[in-house]
Amino acid sequence: MDLTKSQRSGDVGVVRVRGLTRGQLLRGAAAASAGGAGAALAACATPQGSAPAAGNTPVTLTLWDRKEALYPSYMEKWLPTFYARRPHITVDYVATGEANSDKFIPAAAAGTPPDVLMCNGRQPRNHFENKLIVPLDKYIRASRLDTEDFLQGIYKGFGEAGQQFGIPQFVNVNFMFYNRTAFQRAGVPFPKDDWTHDQLLDTARRLTQGPLSSRETWGIGTPFSAVTVRVASLLWGQCAQFTDPKDNSVFTWGAAENLKAFQWAHDVAWRQRLAPLNEAERGGLPLVDAFFTRGNVAILLEGGHWIAEWKAKAQVEWDVAALPKGPCGRGERGAMDAYLMPAGVKTPDASWQLIEAITDKEANKLRSDVVNLPPARKSQWDHWSQGLPDKNLKVGVPTDSVRPDPGSYFHPDVQRALGPIWVSLFDRNEISVADALKQAREATAGVVGAEKSR
Alpha-carbon gap, residue 148 to 297, rounded angstroms = 38
Domains along the chain? 5-171+335-385 (3.40.190.10), 174-334+399-452 (3.40.190.10)
Sign of the torsion angle spanned by Cα atoms 272, 275, 279, 281: positive
Angle (CA) 415 308 115, round 5°? 60
pLDDT single digits (tens) 16-64: 554 444 444 434 434 333 334 433 333 343 333 333 333 478 999 999 9
**Band of residue 328 on the pLDDT scale cut at 50, 70, 90:** very high
Mean pLDDT confidence for 175-198? 97
Q: What residue type is 421 in one-letter code?
A: I
Contact 65, 72 (CB under 8 A): no
Q: What residue type is 56 in one-letter code?
A: N
Report residue 428: phi and psi, to 5°.
Answer: -115, -15
| Mean of pLDDT over the chain | 89
Does the pLDDT at position 2 exceed 90? no
Does the pLDDT at position 105 exceed 70? yes
Alpha-carbon gap, residue 245 to 238, rounded angstroms = 16
Residue 392 CB neighbours (<10 A)? 16
- This prediction has a pTM of 0.87
pLDDT single digits (tens) 437-453: 999 999 999 999 999 99
Mean pLDDT confidence for 104-117? 98
pLDDT single digits (tens) 187-201: 999 999 999 999 999
**Band of residue 276 on the pLDDT scale cut at 50, 70, 90:** very high
Residue 53 CB neighbours (<10 A)? 13
- Percentage of the chain lying above the pLDDT 70 cut: 88
Contact 336, 237 (CB under 8 A): no
Q: What is the pLDDT of residue 15?
A: 52
Mean pLDDT confidence for 373-377? 94
Please tell me which residue, 11 or 329, carries the higher pLDDT value.
329
